[in-house]
């Protein structure tokens, strides 16, 4: 891998990868200094406790001359990468169940808990939460209780509240998995998936959630590694029809598009990981995520070494950095704690 002058101010590149452990390795510093890198994504294997994590993030940023974004999947429930020293967050389905008891209070709780989550992440240096899950709860192995509800309207209200809470905390939000992963049983981490529904049904149900989230200002969208033959024979994350034509042109989305993890089994249709990254970027993704596969991440960086910086893409990526809103933190924290308590037993009659 080529070395780069430390005083060169770099625009964010398209590659996102995760360090292998709780401290930054020498070759990872070189990867972070490379023009093709744009962000790091963190997992449980990067975490021991909050101060250690803050130190790791600081070291990552010091390794790069230019902005470096930091992201994590801190959805709640079974997908919460940081636990010790962080609030235990409920799964999305808990909010959906609470909505059926008291809709107004559940929506307020979704915003309060998202603010709390974002506040805890922002303190240690995270910029982006890869949430909310905007998929419908329809029995998918990959999604399950990560989704709020079976009803698109309920899902829209709760996920929009989560976006508002994250924005208030100073984090950007990511709606996933466009145009909707809930219509397939298969888990794309380990299997290929095909959604045979007609576009009219997908539009009426799944896409309606994403449309509303775009209107409330969600910062980024993550496409699914699912094939929707009614539109394209490629998975949505590799499809210009889905990303450029439908998401950007028809739906008017101007934010960043983040690929799902290109190391997943369903992403393998495009070949080896460097080919997958090229296909995702060509289809319209702004960032290509290569997770928990350091060799593949380095090979993608090498493959993209000669690419000219796409200024429009870099601008969209930099747009993912937000400022926190001014709030009464004590009052907001008290509200979030009360919401967490209520969510444990929203129906007192049970």
Q: Which domains does the chain have, with CATH numbers?
A: 82-284+312-344 (3.20.20.300)
181 catalytic, yes or no? no
Q: Which pLDDT tens digit goes with each residue over 218-256? A: 999 999 999 999 999 999 999 999 999 999 999 999 999
In terms of residues, how long is the chain?
Answer: 350
Q: Which pLDDT tens digit goes with each residue over 66-120? A: 999 999 999 999 999 999 999 999 999 999 999 999 999 999 999 999 999 999 9
27 catalytic, yes or no? no
CA dihedral 210, 213, 215, 219 (to 10 degrees): -110
Say whether pTM exceeds 0.85. Answer: yes
Say if residues 122 and 324 touch (Cβ distance below 8 Å): yes
Choose the catalytic residue: 135, 145, 260, 286: 260
Burial class (CB in 10 A: 0-12, 13-18, 19+), 102: middle
268 confidence band (pLDDT: 50, 70, 90): very high
Say if residues 256 and 316 touch (Cβ distance below 8 Å): yes
Choose the catalytic residue: 55, 102, 187, 189: 189
Q: Which pLDDT tens digit goes with each residue over 294-326? A: 999 999 999 998 776 799 999 999 999 999 999
Nearest to 131 by CA among 154, 108, 147: 147
């Amino acid at each position: 891998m080529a070395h780069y002058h430390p005083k060169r101010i770099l625009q964010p590149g398209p590659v996102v990868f995760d360090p292998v452990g709780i401290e930054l390795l020498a070759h990872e510093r070189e990867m972070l200094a490379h023009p093709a890198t744009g962000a790091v994504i963190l997992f449980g294997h990067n975490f021991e406790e909050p101060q250690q994590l803050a130190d790791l993030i600081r070291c990552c940023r010091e390794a790069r001359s230019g902005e470096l974004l930091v992201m994590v999947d801190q959805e709640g429930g079974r997908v919460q990468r940081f636990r010790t020293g962080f609030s235990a967050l409920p799964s999305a389905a808990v909010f959906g169940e609470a909505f059926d008891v008291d809709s107004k209070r559940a929506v307020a709780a979704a915003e309060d808990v998202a603010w709390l989550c974002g506040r805890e992440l922002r303190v240690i240096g995270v910029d982006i939460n890869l949430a909310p899950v905007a998929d419908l709860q329809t029995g998918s192995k990959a999604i399950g209780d990560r989704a709020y509800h079976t009803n698109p309207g309920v899902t829209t209200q709760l996920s929009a509240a989560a976006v508002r809470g994250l924005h208030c905390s100073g984090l950007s939000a990511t709606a996933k998995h466009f145009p909707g992963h809930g219509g397939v049983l298969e888990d794309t981490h380990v299997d290929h998936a095909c959604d045979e529904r007609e576009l009219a049904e997908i539009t009426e149900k799944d896409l309606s959630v994403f449309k509303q989230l775009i209107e409330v200002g969600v910062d980024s969208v993550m496409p699914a590694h699912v094939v929707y033959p009614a539109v394209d024979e490629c998975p949505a994350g590799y499809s210009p029809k889905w990303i450029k034509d439908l998401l950007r042109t028809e739906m008017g989305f101007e934010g960043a598009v983040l690929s799902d993890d290109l190391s997943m089994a369903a992403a393998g249709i495009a070949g080896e990981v460097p080919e997958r990254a090229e296909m995702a970027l060509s289809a319209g993704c702004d960032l290509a995520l290569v997770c928990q596969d350091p060799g593949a991440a380095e090979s993608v960086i090498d493959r993209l070494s000669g690419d000219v910086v796409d200024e429009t893409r870099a601008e969209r990526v930099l747009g993912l950095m937000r400022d926190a809103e001014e709030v009464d933190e004590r009052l907001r924290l008290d509200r979030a704690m009360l919401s967490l308590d209520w969510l444990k037993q929203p129906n007192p009659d049970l």
